[in-house]
Amino acid sequence: MSGAIALPAVPSRRSRLWRRYGLAGFGAGIVLAWILIALLAPWLSPYPPDFVEVTNRLQPPSATHWLGTDALGRDCFSRLLHGARVSLLAGFSVVVLGAGFGTLLGMVAAYARGWVDEALMRLTDLVLCFPPIILALAIAAALGIGTTNTIIAMLVVWWPKFARLARALALVQRGQEYVEAAVVLGLKPARILGRHIVPNAVGPLVVLVTLDVGNAIITFAGLSFLGLGVVPPTPEWGAMVAEGRELVEQWWVATFPGLAILTIVLGFNFLGDGVRDWLDPKARSR
């Protein structure tokens, strides 16, 4: 007996797009929502973030205080909204500044070669020898607590990964024919880097930037958790988690800022994966 061979169902274009970019869109929505919350925090908050009312301390979530109150009677919901401003600003600042500085050094090292490349890469290796969180912790402790000092401490350990990646990408592009043609035409090195090498090597750097913002937010929150981040009573998610770490029965004090960190990090991870697939020609062709 002969029978028809069942062919596997071909997924529709809509299902392929959802499978490829659905989580990325979801992550972009989370990131956009938190950015809007951070921008509109003064108007969305029912109370000032530093308003102390000791008579209402450690109240559970209710219609009056949606996420409860902390040990000083401050509204956790208001502090959570304002904390988004500090955490997002710190995350974006560290990654953007670190990426800019590291990319510049990596590109210069790859194009200059010789002793310039050797000196810059040995400096990069020297920073990479230390665990990033430990080195940032030591620098932050030396500089003192404060948002600016913590960002500076993170920047010291944040740029090497971008320098390494930028150098590798620039070395690949440096051997391409269009770069050799630009050299033959007598274009200056700065023009070749800015007009030819950087635009063609920027894709993986954009992906790393997108994925790294969540990592920077976690690191900043960790330093604040250890008391080396923001200066009290500035609301910040890591510091809020630290305030509630011993309040087992008052679970809301630490739970909600912890969930905020979780959602924003997942959002940036989903978005980064989508950006990587979008910039990858092989992924787009599937």
Tokens of 146: 């404060």
**Terminal CA-CA length for the chain:** 37
221, 237 in Cβ contact below 8 A? yes
pLDDT at 257 over 90: yes
pLDDT at 5 over 60: no
Rounded mean pLDDT, 118-137: 88
In degrees, rounded to 5, the angle at the alpha carbon of residue 22 between the alpha carbons of residues 18 and 23 is: 150
Domains of the chain in sequence order: 68-280 (1.10.3720.10)
What is the value of pTM for the model shown?
A: 0.86
- Measured distance CA(65)–CA(36) in Å, rounded: 21
Lowest mean pLDDT among 58-62, 156-160, 204-208, 281-285: 281-285
- Measured distance CA(35)–CA(145) in Å, rounded: 25
Output 60 or 112, whichever has higher pLDDT. 60
Confidence band of 7 (pLDDT split at 50, 70, 90): very low
Which residue has tokens 């596997």? 8
Whole-number percent of the chain with pLDDT over 70? 86
Preceding omega of 233 cis (within 30 degrees of 0):
yes
Tokens of 89: 């600003």
- Tens of pLDDT, residues 19-78: 666 788 899 999 999 999 999 999 999 999 988 988 889 999 999 999 999 989 999 999
Confidence band of 177 (pLDDT split at 50, 70, 90): confident
- Tens of pLDDT, residues 215-229: 999 999 999 998 888
Tokens of 21: 């970019």
* pLDDT score for 1: 46
pLDDT at 9 over 60: no
163, 103 in Cβ contact below 8 A? yes
